[in-house]
Structure formats: C-alpha cells, structure tokens
Amino acid sequence: MPRSGTADGLYYELHDEGPDDTREVVILSSGLGGSGAFWAPQMAALTGRYRVLLYDHRGTARSVRTLADCHTVDCMADDIVAVMDEVGLSTAHVVGHAAGGLAGLAMALKHPDRIDRLAVVNGWAAPDPHVARCFATRVSLLNDSGPEAYVHAQPLFLYPADWISENHDRLALDEPHHVAGFPTREVMLARIQALLDFDIAGRLGEILHPVLVSASADDMLVPVSCSRKLAERLPNATLDIVPWGGHGFTVTAPEAFNASLVAFLSGKAP
C-alpha cells in the first residue's frame, strides 16, 4: 500500500517499498483534470524501477478544492516542491502531462536544483492559437451548459476518434464519476487561464536539465508543432513523437510511452 498524506492541502501518494527504499523518485504531475489517478497506465512500468510520487493538483480531486487568489503555472511548480518537502525529497525526476509538463518547466526555471530529469508530455512554451481556440470552446461549454456538457465533450479533445468509438461504453461509465469529482467552475477557469498565460519561450535556454519532449502526431488539443518548437529551443532535449494516440496517448498507447519514458529516465535515448 502506498503511503499517503497531505502537503499544504495537496493529497499525495508515495509508492515505495518502505522507509529503507533508496531508489530514485519519479514525480507524476497530471494535466488539466489534476488527478494523480490519470497515471494508472504508467504505474506498473515505473514502480518496479523507481519510487513513484503521485499527487492531485490544488483545486482538484482529493486535494483542497480552492485556489489562492493568484493562480499561475509558477504556483503549480511551487506545489510540486511543497509535496517534495513534505516527504523529504531533495531532488526527483518530474514527469508532467500538459499542465503538469508546464509546471515541470516552470519548476526547472524557479527551482532548478530540485529536478534531475524532466519529461514534458504534450506541452508548450508559449501561447498557441489552436490551443487557445480549444480552451475557449471548453470554457463556453462550461459557462453555458455546465460540467456535464464539459465532461461529455472532453474525449473529443483527448482521444482519437476510433479509440472513442471502441471505448464508448467505458467512457459512458466513467462520465458520472468525472462529473461528481469535477472542480468548481471558478477553479477550472483559473487553471485554464493559468495555462493560457504561460510563456517562457524567451527562457528555454536557461533549462539545462535533460528533457524528454514527448508528443503524439495526432494530438487534437496541442499541435505537435508546439513540442517540436519546445525541443528545438531546449539545450538538452530529446524529442519523441508517436504517430497515434491523441492528447491522452499515455492512456491510449501506454506501452510505447512507457518504454520511451523508462529509457529516458535511465539515461538512454528513447
């Protein structure tokens, strides 16, 4: 059983073999939904090699359901450090999907000594018009039709059409649970705005950590060009693009992603 607790209102789980486990730690930071449960398809591949620290983003899932008055991606980076401090970690590898990847990039700038290796999945360094258009659509759904409509439409942004068709029953069963756990409207809007405001394009040269930039060529939410630009400007980046899987390819095509991630974390090219 993992050890769980809270750090400044943030729920976390440390998956290890007990206090004497000295293996390296991998922190998994999820996307806009915020729940650490997003990483279930990666756990078996990682826990056999590393200690794994999961947490729920502030305002989501099992963490405190409110945000500070000023909420930015830098705040998300500070939350990762708060969880590390709570469990006594000086450094760790950080793996982030979309919002979590942006938090990892912000952490690499603000707290560079706390990261060993960084993996950014479907992330970006600066505002992108297509991403902004998608978020504007999601905001309209939330404001005009409520969480139920937002959650019902969410797979369209996350997954390939054929995967949605094949997994319709699974998605339908999950939908009520996602609605029940949905953050407040104010929290979700603040989190989306934080992502839209994020812009570190002029500072990428300062990030000297090894970075895996991982993306799917058919991501409907974040164009793969965002990952290409990110990898081009980071001094020590490895770009890994899968041909299929959508924005949530860590769920739809986990085997390929897991193999690349483990290779990168172990110091090998994916």
CATH at 66? 3.40.50.1820
| Within-domain flag for 111 | yes
Chain length of the chain = 270
| Within-domain flag for 53 | yes
Enumerate residues 6+ apart whose C-beta is below 8 A from 105. 96, 118, 120, 123, 125, 200, 207
Say which amino acid occupies 76: M
Q: Which two tokens stand for residue 237?
A: 């980046």
Integer angstrom CA distances of residue 134 from 38, 127, 167, 221, 233: 21, 12, 23, 6, 25
| Within-domain flag for 100 | yes
The confidence score (pLDDT) of residue 68 equals: 87
| Within-domain flag for 270 | no
Q: How far apart are CA 197 and CA 40, in angstroms?
A: 29
Furthest CA-CA distance within the chain: 52
Q: Which portions of the chain are predicted below pLDDT 70?
A: none
The confidence score (pLDDT) of residue 69 equals: 83
Domain count, the chain: 1
| Within-domain flag for 15 | yes
The confidence score (pLDDT) of residue 268 equals: 86
The confidence score (pLDDT) of residue 70 equals: 83
| Within-domain flag for 166 | yes
* Helix then strand then coil, % of the chain, to nearest 5: 50, 15, 35
The confidence score (pLDDT) of residue 16 equals: 96
Domain containing 55 equals 3-265
Q: Is this prediction's pTM over 0.95?
A: yes
Report which of 183, 195, 224 is spatially closest to residue 135, judged by C-alpha positions: 195
| Within-domain flag for 9 | yes
Q: How far apart are CA 86 and CA 267, in angstroms?
A: 27
Asked if residue 138 lies in contact with residue 150, where contact means CB atoms within 8 angstroms, the answer is yes
Q: Which two tokens stand for residue 222?
A: 């974040």
| Within-domain flag for 25 | yes
